[in-house]
Amino acid sequence: MTKKNFIALANAIRNHNKFAGIAQHAFSKSQIDTLANFCQSTNPNFNYTRWVDYVEGKCGPSGGKI
């Protein structure tokens, strides 16, 4: 996968979690970690921590400000 693919996946998860409304339907931390592990296995340049932080809304897609 490429950086664009990782960002697109993260955006889909962020949007889903934003509009899920009920916490039961949002992606859990465990599910996000599982996806991050998969992404890391497909590309050695994948930054696990940055991706998870972006999904959780703590940074921008390249790790900078939101």
> In this structure, are residues 16 and 60 in contact, taking their beta carbons and an 8 Å threshold?
no
Arithmetic mean of pLDDT, 7-12? 96
Say what the pLDDT of residue 65 is.
Answer: 76
Asked whether residue 10 is domain-assigned, the answer is yes
Asked whether residue 21 is domain-assigned, the answer is yes
Asked whether residue 61 is domain-assigned, the answer is no
- Domains: count for the chain: 1
Asked whether the predicted pLDDT for residue 66 surpasses 90, the reply is no
Say what the pLDDT of residue 22 is.
Answer: 66
pLDDT tens digits, 10-63: 999 999 998 886 667 899 999 999 999 999 999 999 999 999 999 999 999 888
Instruction: Find where tokens 């996946």 sit.
Output: 9
Task: Tell how far CA 23 is from the center of its chain.
Answer: 17
Q: Which of 39, 59, 58 is nearest to 48 (CA)?
A: 39
Asked whether residue 38 is domain-assigned, the answer is yes
Q: Is 64 left (phi over 0), alpha (psi -120 to 50) or beta?
A: beta
Tokens of 18: 């934003």
Q: 66 or 8: which carries more pLDDT confidence? A: 8
